[in-house]
Amino acid sequence: MKTYEQHPVTRIRRESQENIDDFVVTEFPLTIFLNENEFVTVVCTPENLLELAVGFLFSERVIDRAEDILTSRIDNGRNIVYISVNERQYPAEGVRLKRYITPGCFYYTTLNTGAKKIESNISARSGQLLELVHLAQKKSVLYRMTGGVHSAALCCNSEILLFREDIGRHNAIDKLVGHCLLHGMNMEDKILLTSGRVSSAVMVKVINARIPIVVSSSAPTSESVKLSDKFGITLAGFARGKRVNVYTNTRRITDTQAAIL
């Protein structure tokens, strides 16, 4: 399925007007069945759907590792991913109730509040982070076509290892996480870039995946600053052009005074 559609548009500029066909990002409802039961419907951009489903289940703490998945199957015609897990992994009624009362992109309850602080001693220069953001922007083909997607990238030092785009900023991160789980890639020594704002929901995914550095081109919220401080994550925001703000755990940014002292 295509990640974009063509639609007729009247494009109005100050002194001209034209009727063209323009690209609009596809909005696609993917339903995840867990052990034969309908579990959740995620609205997304239709690519890397198994990664998305696996990453979502991990971020929601339904599974702890790829090995918890017994079988997986995609029915592309019906927009369904079927995943079966060990019965013991199946979320209890209480967990489902908790999730029911928290739509609106709020996954706070899925945080393991007993999670250990992230102690990783990886580091980066601020210029390196800005260069990665620049590289990610160059990779954003669907964004340039449609203007309607967010991106997420997983980086090692100065290299982008994985890059995903989706209409949902949460989904783009889940796709990265799902790929890492399915391919046995370590996330604990990586840098996560996101084009979107960093809310508590995003930070909970980062904490569950144990990624030590998060860089956003956009703003953080009060809760994401508090969570990143508490769990030892370096949070940078407004990384655009030649500037970046570092909110927490500045010690990992090697050209700041905090790192030098």
Backbone angles phi, psi at 144, to 5 degrees: -65, -35
100 binds its own copies (CB under 8 A): yes
- 161/218 with CB nearer its own copies: 218
- Type of residue at 217: S
Q: Using CB under 8 A, which of 21, 38, 75, 188 touches its own copies?
A: 38
Q: Which residue is it, tokens 């009362």?
A: 101
Interface residue with its own copies among 47, 89, 108, 137 (CB under 8 A) is 108
Nearer to its own copies, 7 or 134 (CB): 7
Is the CB of residue 178 less than 8 Å from the CB of residue 58? yes
Instruction: Tell me how far apart the alpha carbons of residues 77 and 79 are, in angstroms, rounded to a whole number.
Output: 6
Any contact of residue 88 with its own copies (CB under 8 A)? Answer: no
* List 71, 88, 101, 138, residue binding its own copies (CB under 8 A): 101
Chain positions 42 to 61 lying near its own copies, rule: CB under 8 A, are 42-44
Place of tokens 């063509």: 6
**155 flagged as catalytic:** no
Helix (H, G, I), strand (E, B) or coil at 38: strand
Residue 91 structure tokens? 């979320």
Indicate whether 219 belongs to the interface with its own copies (CB under 8 A).
yes
User: What is the C-alpha separation between 194 and 173, in angstroms, rounded?
Assistant: 8
Do residues 80 and 172 touch, judged by C-beta distance below 8 A? no
Does 261 engage in binding with its own copies (CB under 8 A)? no
**For strand 191-194 and strand 213-216, is the pairing parallel, antiparallel, or unpaired?**
parallel
Element (H, E) at 162: strand 159-166
Residues 140-169 that bind its own copies (CB under 8 A): 146-148, 167-168
Q: Site for its own copies (CB under 8 A): how many residues?
A: 69
182 binding its own copies? (CB under 8 A):
no
Q: In whole angstroms, give the CA distance from residue 52 to residue 42.
A: 9
* 253 forms part of the interface with its own copies (CB under 8 A): yes
Shortest distance, CB of residue 67 to its own copies, whole angstroms?
26
Extract the tokens encoding 55: 């990453």
Question: Residue 27 is encoded by which pair of tokens?
Answer: 């909005």
Backbone angles phi, psi at 101, to 5 degrees: -85, 5
Q: Which of 84, 102, 123, 158 binds its own copies (CB under 8 A)?
A: 102
Which listed residue (59, 195, 199, 208) binds its own copies by CB under 8 A? 199
Scanning 61-69, 132-140, 187-195, 199-207 for contacts with its own copies by CB under 8 A, the matching segment is: 199-207
Residue type, 72: S
121 is an interface residue for its own copies by CB under 8 A: no
Catalytic sites, residue numbers: 105
Interface residue list for its own copies (CB under 8 A): 4-5, 7-14, 17, 19, 22, 24-27, 29, 31, 38-44, 96, 99-106, 108, 126, 146-148, 167-168, 170-171, 197, 199-201, 218-225, 238, 242-247, 250, 253, 255-258
